[in-house]
Every structure is written in structure tokens, then in C-alpha cells.
Structure 1
Amino acid sequence: MIERFRAGVLAAALTLLLTGCSAVMVPVSPADSSGLGRETVRVGIAYDSAGRGDKSFNDAAAAGIDRAKQELLIEASEAKTQAETDEARAEALRGLAAGGSNPVIAVGFLYATAVGTVAEEFPGTLFAIIDDDSVTADNVVSLLFSEEQGSYLVGVAAALATRKDRVAFVGGVDVALIHKFEAGYVAGVHSVDPGIRVDVRYLTRPPDFGGFSAPAKGKAAAARLIAGGADVVYAAAGGSGSGVFQAVAAGRKAWAIGVDSDQYATADEAVRSRILTSMLKRVDNGVFQEIQAFVKGDRAGGKKRYDLKVDGVGYATSNQQLGPYQSGMEKARYRILSGAVRVPVS
């Protein structure tokens, strides 16, 4: 009897040793019969129509997935919408969930309706949605970011860098989420000098969400703003930002500020030197940390906030020409962290 018991323990130990090299082992108690402790975690991620390669929002989310593959040994399936409709988005999520992905991550607030629908169809799957908290279900978690805080910091940089006391903001689509970027930017500019003028342009308004993927519109809007006197242009416009960079580079004496990821690092050589900094929205951290939490057994819905305190937002320092303005940006960061400054969201 004792020998059989020892043999059983040895066999179990060998099984764990052999499988631990190729699979993520989620701790479960002996009473847990779900089988999760013996499975590889398979994550699904649904991008918007731009997908990987937008050098902005989607690529930031993709970076989180890539990190999770390497560090957490997860498997991943990726999808993107084939049309800008709620049904197309639901089909993307449905395909991932039906294929065994859990959790399923939806990249962007436009997925809200689709997440609400598909989460009901797959109650045993956890859905995470970035930038939306309108869906309240036990199996839906909202990943939210304090974009206004990061935008405040690059607003400080814009105010310190302008030579004309006139800067600009280009928003992709005129919606509440992008208003947060605008509000933080304007507040940051005016914290340095209330007399600096901030010109604002949006590329489209709902129901047209194409402003996030219209570089030609971004270029035309930025060109008009520069012609009007602005010499720093902050683009919170997704893929349309590349057009803004082109207009700024053509102006030569103007600066561009990117968004979401370090766009200096990925921009074409022809425009790179004119990207002063970027507001970093650490979607990569949010995606990675949500997957990590799932692996550790956190399957609950709710809301998770990523702000300056948890490195959820920040700014890029790749362009050395930002150097003269960093001291002012860091002072602003400490004021926000200390609570001395509360950045507006609208």
C-alpha cells in the first residue's frame, strides 16, 4: 500500500515537471475539477479594422499579447473586424470564443455593443474591453486609462516648445473618449501659460468613425492648423496621425506629438525628427496584466484603471530634442501624483 502511494506521488511529480516547460500551469486546489490547472491559456484578441500595423493603438495592444506569449507561455488567436458594424465585431468575438479562447480581449470602445451580446452567449468566457465601461456583466472586465494625465504632460511640452504661443490638437473622432485627450492637453498647455492659444479640429463625428484611419484627412487638417499659425500639433487620431506627421514635416518649423505608442520609434524617416514626443497609453501593460491576472486565477468582471501611478500613461523620450522640456514635464507629473493637480476629463 505504501509503495503504491509513493509511486503515485512520483508519477504526479514527473507529470508536473514535464508539462511545466510547455504550458502555463494555473494553480488549482485538489477540489477544483475545472481542469484549468492542466491547460494552456489561450487568449483571443479582436482588433479594430486597422489591425496590427497601425503604429498606434492596435500595435500597443499587440505588444501586450506578444509579451504574454513570451513571458507567460500563452497561446493567442487574433482577429479583426471586416466591416465597421456591430455585427461584424460580434462575429469576430464569437469566432474567438467558439474557438476556445478565454479570455477574449476587445480592442476599443466600438466593441461595446458586441461584447454585451457575445458575453451573454458565452457566460463561461471572460471578456475584456479596452476604453469602455458601459457593459456590466460578471464575465466582462473594463480596462480603462487616464489618457487625460498623459495628455497633460505632453501639453506642458507643447507649451514650452512653441515659439508662436499657438498650438493645436487633432482628434480622430469627436467622442467622449477623445475629449479626455483634448481636455488634458489644453490643461497642460495652460498650466504653463494661459495665454497660449489651442486650436482644435476633429476629423469625423459619429456615426462616422473613419477619422481613426484617414491619414489624408489628418494631413489636411494639420496643414490648415499650421498655416493658421500653430507650431505644435498633438494628434490623438489613431492611424490618421501619420498624415498629421507628414503635414508637420512639410512645415519644417513645427513639431508633432504622437499618441498611444512611441511613434518616433516607428515613424518613417522623413517625419521622425519632427515628432517631439508621444503620449504613451500603456495598452500593452493593460493587456499583459489582464492576461497575467487570468493566469493567476482572477476571472472576475469589473473595472481596472491604469493611470500615472501604475505606469498606465506617460510620455516618450526617444527624441533627444525633448531634453530641454523634460524638467517641466517631470514637475507636472509629480504635481499630478501628489494630488496637487487634478486633470480635467472634459
Structure 2
Amino acid sequence: MRRTTRIATLCIASAVALTATACGKTSSSSSSGDSSSAGTKEAAAAIAYDVGGRGDQSFNDAAYAGLSKAESDLKVKGVDSEPSDGESDADKVQRLTELARAGNNPVIGVGFAYAPAIDKVAKKFPKTTFGIIDDASVTAANIANMVFNEEQGSYLAGVAAAKTTKTATVGFIGGVETPLIKKFQAGFEQGVKDTDPKVKVLSQYLTQPPNFDGFSKPDLGKAAAQGQLDKKADVIYAAAGLAGSGSIEAVSKAGKWNIGVDSDQYNQKGLADYKDSILTSVTKDVADAVYNLIKSVQDGKPESGEIRYGLDKDGVGLADSNPAYTKMTDVVAAVEKAKKEIIDGKITVKTTP
């Protein structure tokens, strides 16, 4: 069964039918039954979650929000599939194959880890559109690569952190040291230093590949944040998926500032106890990317190739849901100035630390 300890970003009023697959867990969020049944004539779209699964209050939940919107607006049946613990590429291939064979279109892999599997499965189902988030390395006529300028949003977070800190020390916590998460680190560090070279940035990663626990275990994030707090960091930015919730808890209890990631974490129900400490979040419009791909398939004009979301298209940004943030007029002004300069090409943000 689906992990019951997680709290989903959105609640759907209809009943949930669960079907266990050979690898991972697959569910339909429609009341009309198991959408994995072959031969269904109802339009269906599927997403396969990244490490941490649905309920991470971050990356995966943003993808689910896009699927949920498509269900509501486009009247498609949504199917979402959870990863298994220690899932291999072969497991991903089997899971994606089952989703495609059931007639789901598109089939979307949430995260770069799906690249090898999508590369294989897309060849077997040329009439099915496959989407992959955060990867542009695998290409085909039926593959849509949804990628983001994470470094740009992270730069704005660095500006906000440098303008907010009282101790001249801020922190960055990356879940797993991959090229993708290094983009978050690079942008954040550059934003801090461009704003105030005197501010110290403490940067660390929770795990190294092939260990991806740094995206799924909150206790790792909590311990890392506590270590940075002990070193006087008073603003901490964690790009660590579900593990980031542990960092948010530790920072909140210390009375310091968090910067969230991927989703507007101030508004995440599972983080409601800590929301006042979430100054802002670096957002990635994963929800719209998922929705737009599903709509393109429904319209008969499926997206393919690289689809890039940056500051210029509001594909990444900095959330302003916390009233405490909007009251910091000097911080908001500095962030808006940096945003304009990035869009205008006056600031080029690095993608590696």
C-alpha cells in the first residue's frame, strides 16, 4: 500500500483505487477504478515519482499538483506510481513499461534518475509521449525534456539570505552531490557573495551517489542543519527533497530562517508547524511543466525536445507567501533588482560551484 505516513500536497475528494505493480506502487486518483487495465478508452496520464515519493512536500508533490490539475481541467485519468526502496534501472524500466502498456499517455518520469529507463522504454512505445523532468541527456521524437534554470532561482535565494542574515553566516544543504544539485549550490553561493562578500556560506551534501538517501531521509537533513546552526548559520537553504523537511524542522526550532525548495514550502500542509520559519522558497514550476505536457498530448500536438523554464518565463522564482518576507522591503527590492538583471543578461549565473 502507499506509505501512509506521508501527507500529500493536495487532496482529491474521489476514492482512491490502489494497484500494486511488480516494482513500486501504482495508484489511480480517479474514482472510476484501476486505470492500469488494458483497453481503457479513457484518456490517462501517468507520473512515476522520484526518490522520496509523493508526500515529500517538495519536488514530487509539485509533479502531483500538475497531474491533479490535469485531472480537474482536462478530465484525464491520473495515475501515479511510487518508487520501491533501492529501485534499480531495471525496476524503472519495468514500471514505465507497465504504465505505457496500460495506455497512459504521456508517461512522465520525475527526476534525472529516469533517464536510462526512459531511453529504453520510449523506443518500445513510439506512439507514446514520455516526459522526463530535470534531464536533457536522452532525446527522441517522443521524449519531452523538461528542464529548469535552478541556478537562477537559487541566486535570488542567495541575495535574500545575504540581506537577511544577522550573523554573516548562512548555509546550503544539498541532498545528493549530483550535477543537478550543484546548480542549486552554485547559484546560491554566487547570489550571497555578489550581495555581500563578507557573508560566509557553509555548504555540504548529505550523501554521495549511488547512495540517494540524501533525498529521502529527514534525519540526515536535521543533523546537517543542526551542525550548521552550531556554526552560527541563521539562514539555511536545503535542496534535499524529503530530507529537507528535517532541516526545516531543526532550523524552525532554533528560531532561525529556512529557505525552501521546488514547491512553495510555506504553503505545504505537512510543514504547517514550521511555516513561520520559511522565509521564502526557490520554486520550480514543475506543476505547470507536467500539466502543459499532458495538455499538449490531449491537444494532439505533443511537446518534445528540450523545454526550458527559467526566470524569464517564471519557470523558476522566489516565493513571497510569507508576510514576514514581503515586509522586508530592502530584501524584496534587492531580489527584484537581481531578477531583472539576470533576465536582462547583466548577471550570468554559474551552474557549477
Q: Alpha carbons of 1:49 and 1:178: their partners in 2 closer, same or farther (altered >3 Å)?
A: closer
Matches within 5 A, 1:308-323: 308-323=311-326
Matches within 5 A, 1:323-342: 323=326, 324=328, 325-342=331-348
Q: Pick the aligned partner of 2:81 from 79, 82, 85.
A: 79
Instruction: Give TM-score, length-normalised by structure 2.
Output: 0.84
Q: Matched residues in 1 for 2:260 and 2:201: separation?
A: 16
Q: Matched residues in 1 for 2:148 and 2:214: separation?
A: 21
Q: Tell me how far 1:295 sits from its aligned partner.
A: 2.1
1:161 and 2:164 aligned: yes
Tell me whether 284-293 or 54-63 shows the greater mean CA deviation: 284-293
Q: Is the 8 A contact 2:266 2:272 kept in 1?
A: no
Q: Is the 8 A contact 2:51 2:215 kept in 1?
A: no
Q: Matched residues in 1 for 2:129 and 2:273: separation?
A: 43
Q: State which structure, 1 or 2, has the greater radius of gyration over its C-alpha atoms.
A: 1
Q: Pick the aligned partner of 1:69 from 58, 68, 71.
A: 71
Q: Matched residues in 1 for 2:193 and 2:337: separation?
A: 15
Matches within 5 A, 1:1-346: 40-83=42-85, 84-252=87-255, 254-266=256-268, 267-299=270-302, 301-323=304-326, 324=328, 325-346=331-352
Q: Is the 8 A contact 2:296 2:303 kept in 1?
A: no
Amino acid at match of 1:236: A
Q: Matched residues in 2 for 1:139 and 1:270: separation?
A: 43
Amino acid at match of 2:223: A
Q: Deviations over 1:19-55 (max 9, x none)?
A: xxxxxxxxxxxxxxxxxxxx65321111124322111
Q: Matched residues in 2 for 1:295 and 1:95: separation?
A: 21
Q: Is the 8 A contact 1:80 1:92 kept in 2?
A: no
The SS at the match of 1:268 is helix
Aligned length: 307
Q: Deviations over 1:296-326 (max 9, x none)?
A: 2223531110111111111111111112121
Q: Alpha carbons of 1:288 and 1:269: their partners in 2 closer, same or farther (altered >3 Å)?
A: closer
Q: Matched residues in 2 for 1:213 and 1:111: separation?
A: 17
CA-atom RMSD in angstroms: 1.3
Q: Matched residues in 2 for 1:145 and 1:268: separation?
A: 25
Q: Alpha carbons of 1:92 and 1:145: their partners in 2 closer, same or farther (altered >3 Å)?
A: same
Which structure features the higher share of helix residues?
Answer: 1
* Structure 1 unaligned regions, length at least 5: 1-38
Q: Is the 8 A contact 1:69 1:76 kept in 2?
A: yes
Structure 1 runs of 4+ aligned residues shifted over 3 Å read 267-270
Q: Tell me how far 1:232 sits from its aligned partner.
A: 0.6
Q: Deviations over 1:131-183 (max 9, x none)?
A: 01111222211100111111111111100100111111000000000000011
The SS at the match of 2:115 is helix
Q: Matched residues in 1 for 2:73 and 2:336: separation?
A: 31
* Structure 2 unaligned regions, length at least 5: 1-40
Instruction: Give TM-score, length-normalised by structure 1.
Output: 0.86
Equivalence for 2:8: none
Identity, % of aligned pairs? 46
Q: Matched residues in 2 for 1:210 and 1:87: separation?
A: 19
Amino acid at match of 1:89: K
